[in-house]
Chain A
Amino acid sequence: MTTLTNYRPATRLRVVAQTEAPAAIFTTEGLNVWYGDTHALKNIDLTIYENEVTAIIGPSGCGKSTYLKTLNRMVETDPAVRIDGTAKFKETDLLHATVERLRSEVGMVFQKPNPFPKSIYDNVAYGPKLHGIRKKAMLDDIVESSLKKAALWDEVKDRLSSSAFGLSGGQQQRLCIARSLAIEPSVLLMDEPTSALDPVSTNKVEELIGELKKDVSIVIVTHNMQQAARISDRTAFFLHGEVVEYGQTEAIFERPSSHLTDDYVNGRFG
C-alpha cells in the first residue's frame, strides 16, 4: 500500500468545509471486520451525520457492503464473521445492542428488490405487524403514508391486495423502500439500490432519496459516481477495506486530497 502516502485525515478536511457540524448518527472507531480469514474492513474511523445523504464509493470488493451491513449488524447473518472495534448508533453501542431493536431504527434497502411473495399491502404492513401493531385502521394509515413517502401510492392504490411480484423492478424497489419506512426508522441504509434498475426508475429513486432525507438519514453505497455526486452531501471513498478519504461530496469530487480518490472519481480505475 505504498500508494496511500497522499492520504490526509478526513477530519481536517471537514473542519475546513463545515462550520457547524450536525449531530452524529453513526460513529465507528477502529472498526475491523473479518469473514473467516478475509480482513474486509480495516480500522474504520468514520462519523456519519444525521439528516444527510452519505455516499460510500469504491471499487468492487473494497468493503462498502460490509461496512453498511455492520451498521445494522446484517453482516452477522454469516456465521464466519468477526467484528472488532467500536460502532455507535447515536449514543448506543450498536455492536452490543439488541439487533431487533437496532434494525427497527436502522432500515435497509437491498441491491436487488426483494419484496415478499405477499400482497403490496402485506409487504408494507409486515414491519409494523412485527412490532406489534394489530389495528386494521392503524395499519391502513401506515401503509398509505409509507407508500406515499416512497412515491408509489398513486401507482398502486387500486391494487393493494394484488401480489407485489406483479410490479415492475423499479416499483418493487420503491415498495421495498416503503416497507422499510413503515416502521419509521431514523436511518435508511441502501446498498446499490438502483444498480438493478433502468434509468427512469433510477431517476425516481434518486428523487425520492432527496425527499426522504428531510426525515431520515441515508447511507447509500453506489457504484455510480454521478449518482454519488448528484444526491449525497458527504462521500466516503473506500479502497481495500480502508477509508482513503471522507468529506463533503463537492470536495471529494472537485478537490480530492488523495490522488487515489482523484483517479477513482475520474474513472481512471475501478
Chain B
Amino acid sequence: MLHTRQSPNSSRIRFRLLADRSAKIMFGAAALFGIVIMGILLVRITSEGLSWLSLDFLTGRFSTTPERAGIMGAVLGTFWLLAVVVPVTMLVGIGSAVYLELYSKNGKIRTFIQTNIGNLAGVPSIVFGILGLTVFVRALGFGSVVLAGGLTLSLLILPIVIVSAQEALRSVPHQLGDASYALGASKWQTIQSVILPVALPSILTGAILALSRAIGETAPLVVLGIPALLIPFPGGILDRFTVLPMQIYYWTLDAALVADYAHLAAAASIVLLISLFLLNGSAIYLRNKYTIKA
C-alpha cells in the first residue's frame, strides 16, 4: 500500500468512505435490533404480568382458577431438577474434561471422543427428550419424575459443560503445573491442588451458562411426559414434577379458553427471566472476579 503506482482515484476513495459509513450504520442497526426486541419483550410481559406478580403467586399452588394460581410447585420442580443436574453435570463434565485434557494422549480415540462431543452439542434438544423417554422413563422405569428429567437435561448440557471446562483447563498456564511437578507432586496432586482451583471459576462460568439453558428447556420435558399442570409439590427426585417453562407453555396455549391465563404466563415469564438474568449475571461476575493473570 505504501508504493501506490497510480495517483489515488478520488471517486474510489469516496466510494470507500461511503461503504465505511454504511457498514457502521448496518452494524449499528443490527445491534439495535437485539435491544429493541428485548425492549418489546420486556414491556410486553411486564405490562401483562407485573400486576399479577405477588407473594401469593410465588408461593401458591397450581390452580385452574387464575386468581388462586401460584407457581411454587414449578419453582420446587426446578429446584429438584437442579439437585440432579448440578451434581451429575459437574462430576461427569469436569471428570471428562480432566480426562480429555490431562490424561488422554493425543490419539485416535481422543479425536473420536472429541468429535462426538462436538456433534452431541449440536443435536436438537427434542432428540435428547426421545433418548430420555426411551432410556430413563421406560427402560429404567423411572417414569416421568425429576430423576428422569434431570438426567435427560444433564445429557443435553453435558457437551457444553465438557467443552467449556476443557477450555478452562487448557488456559491454565503450564508453568503452574510444572512448578508442582518439579516439587515432586504426582499428576493427581497437581490437578487437584493447582490446576483445578485455577480453572474452577471459568469451569463454573461455563457450567452456570449451561444450567441456565437447562432451566429454560421445554421440548425434551414435553417428550418425557412431564405434566404442565400439577397440584402436589414435588418433595424429592423420585416425585412427579413440572417446571416454569412448561407451565408458561400451557397457560399460553389455554389463554384462548381463559383470558387471564395470558397474565399468569407473563407473570411466570418475569420470574423465569429474572432467574436467568441472575444466573448469567453470577457467571459474568465469577469470570471477572476470579480470572487469574500470570
Contacts and interface: CB of A to CB of B under 8 A. Distances in A.
Contact of A79 (B105, B181, B293, B294): B105
A256 B282 CA distance: 65
B193 A126 contact: yes
A126 B178 contact: no
Given A103-B182, A107-B183, A165 B175 contact: no
Interface size class of A (residues with CB under 8 A): 20 to 34
Interface stretch (B110-118, B184-192, B260-268): B184-192
Contact of A100 (B106, B186, B194, B292): B186
A100 to B, nearest CB: 5
B292 A117 contact: yes
Given A112-B175, A114-B175, A114-B176, 18 more contacts: A74-B182, A77-B181, A79-B106, A100-B186, A103-B183, A107-B182, A107-B183, A110-B175, A110-B179, A110-B182, A115-B179, A116-B179, A127-B184, A130-B189, A130-B193, A165-B293, A165-B294, A183-B183
Contact of A116 (B189, B194, B293): B194
Q: Tell me what chain A mostly uses at the interface: helix, strand, loop, or mixed.
A: helix
Nearest to A164: B294
Contacts, number: 67
Nearest to A103: B184
A115 B294 CA distance: 9
Closest 9 CB pairs of A and B: A104-B184, A103-B184, A114-B175, A108-B182, A127-B183, A114-B179, A100-B184, A117-B292, A130-B185
15 contacts: A74-B178, A77-B177, A99-B184, A100-B186, A102-B184, A103-B181, A107-B182, A110-B182, A112-B175, A114-B173, A114-B178, A116-B180, A116-B194, A117-B294, A165-B293
Contacts of A100: 184-186
A72 B178 CA distance: 12
Contact of A180 (B105, B175, B183): B183
Nearest to A172: B294
Given A116-B194, A117-B292, A165-B293, A131 B184 contact: yes
Interface in B172-231: 173, 175-186, 189, 193-194, 197-198
B181 A179 contact: no
A131 to B, nearest CB: 7
Contacts of A116: 176, 179-180, 194
Contact of B184 (A79, A114, A130): A130
Interface size class of B (residues with CB under 8 A): 20 to 34
A187 to B, nearest CB: 12
A219 interface: no
A176 interface: yes
Contact of B183 (A79, A115, A130): A130
A101 interface: yes
B105 A77 contact: no
A232 B179 CA distance: 25
Interface in A67-83: 72, 74, 77, 79
A115 B185 CA distance: 15
B183 A179 contact: yes
A101 to B, nearest CB: 7
A131 B197 CA distance: 20
Contacts of B198: 117
A179 B183 CA distance: 8
B49 to A, nearest CB: 45
